[in-house]
Structure 1
């Protein structure tokens, strides 16, 4: 089968389209004929050997996908022909991928496989951040950094589904338009976001959702209301910030780490629990990602490079077998 393989850790331009052996499902696993694969920030990092999870070279890239079950292994809860999405961690940039039942969720008939491929990692991370870590409630307010990106846009949609008021932070007017189309309550520019937010919410917001890091971090603590929580999800800006803990003390605010991947590894069955909890939102189309662009499998280098450009508005997909 055709697959996108990483043979050298020299960046996205050097990934290769290769012929590799088609995998076979084992106990409690499924073989999925991939319709679409989602492109995520970890893939960009993996092409450079910078991600915390390391794979032996060469390896087939790709963390998530959606498609049709081609074969169910012994004891699997799925059957051939089922429409599914999966988060196998690697191997999804291929015509077929094997995923365990614990990494696989059913896709409702009303949801396209393209949208489904863009959901798993971002939507479940947003759910973990807002519903599980923050225990957010309707009527509260959240500021979302990187609101036009894959993870940020998922957070905007999840927050709106829960009933939160959302301030989306963006860097360009084009990104602002994308976030408005998602339904954000307010949109502000990254330059000067603190003052803009204070004008809208003088007493501060309940939560800040931050996958960006860098020099925004300190001002993020300043826009929090008393007892507010800053949710740390990553550092796409490249710089890992530090916090002066006196800021936390003075306003009774907290900084919470959000490591969804670690949580799933520690709790078998957790992905299925999450998917069940947000099933109504998924079925209603409230979490359908905005699609920035769809590329053929052979153009994976370009697709991954889009994430490096910082110009992404929504989700980047690879079309493998299509729908």
Structure 2
């Protein structure tokens, strides 16, 4: 089968289109014919050796895909050969991949493979950071950083679906601002032109109840915390600026009873009771047109290196997807 592999750590230039052995499903696994692959910023970190999981060479990047079931391993009863599914697993940049059965989910009628490949990581992350970690209640207010990205575009919409009374987002360009407004944001701040903390406190004097933070760095943490209302929560779920050493002063949280919590999806994937219901809800809403899944750009599998350059360059909006076949 064709696959994107790399044999040494590095940027997009280490990615190669190669022939690789076809995988075989073990007990509890599902084999997919991959039709579309969702790209994640974590993929670029993985090829550089900067992700939580280190590659074993030759390595195939990618953690989410959509396609059709080719075969199932012993003990798998929830899916059948021919089913259209989306999956979380390793080695997604290939014509075939295996995934644990617990992280394989049905694609509803009306949802394309490209849309389905854009949902598992970003959809679950957006839903979880708002609900599990952010504990968003109807009527509360939310600030979404990087609101034009894969997680951000969904988080803005999900916050509205959950009853948020005010949704703000930060972006890096006027075009991205227009997109986020079209998704239902009340306030969009171009962080290249304005200080988001000043703009938030001007619009909502008491502050927001939840901040979704995935930029990283001491300065961003400080200004994000300044946006919070009493009893507010900041959810940290990434460091897109690569500044992973940002610090906060814990005693400073006491005055307004603030909370900082972290979110990391990987250990939750095995908790199907936490993942299957929200993903089914989001997929159904997307299939019905009630939720917009923003696929910013698609690429042939062979152009994975170009896709990584675009992802790292932060000029993209929504989700980038590789199309296989």
TM-score normalised by structure 1 residue count: 0.94
Matched, 1:170 2:171: yes
| Matching residue of 1:201 | 204
Report how far residue 269 of structure 1 moved.
5.3
| Matching residue of 2:243 | 239
Report how far residue 158 of structure 1 moved.
1.9
CA distance in structure 2 between the partners assigned to 1:181 and 1:249 by the alignment: 37
| Matching residue of 1:306 | 310
Work out whether residues 134 and 234 of structure 2, in 8 Å CA contact, stay in contact via their aligned partners in 1. Answer: no
Q: Give the secondary-structure state (helix, strand or coil) at the position aligned to 2:269.
A: helix
Report how far residue 37 of structure 1 moved.
0.2
Matched positions, count: 319
Following superposition of structure 1 onto structure 2, how do residues 80-119 of structure 1 map, counting pairs within 5 Å?
A: 80-88=81-89, 90-119=90-119
CA distance in structure 1 between the partners assigned to 2:283 and 2:146 by the alignment: 25
**Aligned-pair Cα RMSD in Å:** 1.6
Report how far residue 74 of structure 1 moved.
2.7
The superposition leaves residues 155-200 of structure 1 with CA deviations (integer Å, 9 ceiling, x where unpaired) of: 2222122122310111110111121222222211223111111121
The superposition leaves residues 54-88 of structure 1 with CA deviations (integer Å, 9 ceiling, x where unpaired) of: 12111111110011112222322101111110010
Q: Match for 1:210 among 184, 209, 213?
A: 213
Work out whether residues 111 and 285 of structure 1, in 8 Å CA contact, stay in contact via their aligned partners in 2. Answer: no
Report how far residue 123 of structure 1 moved.
0.7
Work out whether residues 161 and 281 of structure 1, in 8 Å CA contact, stay in contact via their aligned partners in 2. Answer: no
Matched, 1:187 2:181: no
The superposition leaves residues 17-47 of structure 1 with CA deviations (integer Å, 9 ceiling, x where unpaired) of: 0001111222222111111100101100011
Structure 1 stretches of 4+ moved >4 Å: 276-280
Matched, 1:67 2:67: yes
Q: Give the secondary-structure state (helix, strand or coil) at the position aligned to 1:23.
A: coil
Report how far residue 114 of structure 1 moved.
0.7
Q: Which has the higher mean CA deviation after the structures are superposed, 256-265 or 133-142?
A: 256-265
Unpaired runs of at least 5, structure 2: none
Report how far residue 203 of structure 1 moved.
0.4
TM-score normalised by structure 2 residue count: 0.93
